[in-house]
A = this chain, B = another copy of it.
């Protein structure tokens, strides 16, 4: 009963789009509404606050990406290939964003996380949650790689975190310099970072 609407989804999309392009503080609720073709009154029908919208948008975005990540990180794919494919995905996404807007977008998790982690506990918690999901994908690939003797078997969880930090750092640097070149070469650094750079013969320790 009652009426149905796509307004909520449009608001979520607009939020990710606009907040990635500039920042949380810069993007006004009015701008989000306009971009989504929604009046302000409706906004507050669907979301209790701007912060609430941001949290929901991050969640929705993460859910949307899930299937793609599950396929990239499928256990049926050789572990180092998963990481290579992930790098390729990053490059594709950044390149696509650049073509569309003229700007390297970077990663909304890192942008929002950096900006908001000291001001809004809920946004901070959601960003952390989303980052940890990504870390899990990486950790699994790293463990599988180590198990196959493709890299040392030490500190796999730390390596996953470091690798994620590297990815996010590269994306952010690309955003700041509006330059994709470091992203393009990210794969090589990624493999080096976890110790799988040159075809390593890892003796069973």
A residues touching B (Cβ–Cβ < 8 Å)? 21-26, 103, 106, 110-111, 113-119, 124, 127-128, 131, 155, 158-159, 161-162, 164-170, 172-173, 175-178, 181-182, 185-186, 189, 192-195, 197-198
- A103 contacts B128, C-beta separation under 8 Å: no
* CB-nearest residue of chain B to A127: B176
Q: A39 vs B164: C-alpha distance in the bound complex, in angstroms?
A: 44
Is chain A's interface secondary structure helix, strand, loop, or mixed overall? helix
Q: A167 vs B113: C-alpha distance in the bound complex, in angstroms?
A: 17
- B176 contacts A169, C-beta separation under 8 Å: no
Copies assembled: 2
Q: A197 vs B194: C-alpha distance in the bound complex, in angstroms?
A: 10
Contacts of A113 in B (CB 8 A): 172, 176
- A176 contacts B131, C-beta separation under 8 Å: yes
The minimal Cβ–Cβ distance linking A116 to chain B, given in whole angstroms, is 8
A194 in complex: contacting residue of B114, B118, B131, B192, CB < 8 Å = B192
- B165 contacts A170, C-beta separation under 8 Å: yes
Q: A168 vs B25: C-alpha distance in the bound complex, in angstroms?
A: 22
Assuming the contacts A103-B118, A182-B158, asked whether A128 and B177 have C-beta atoms less than 8 A apart, the reply is: yes
- B158 contacts A185, C-beta separation under 8 Å: yes
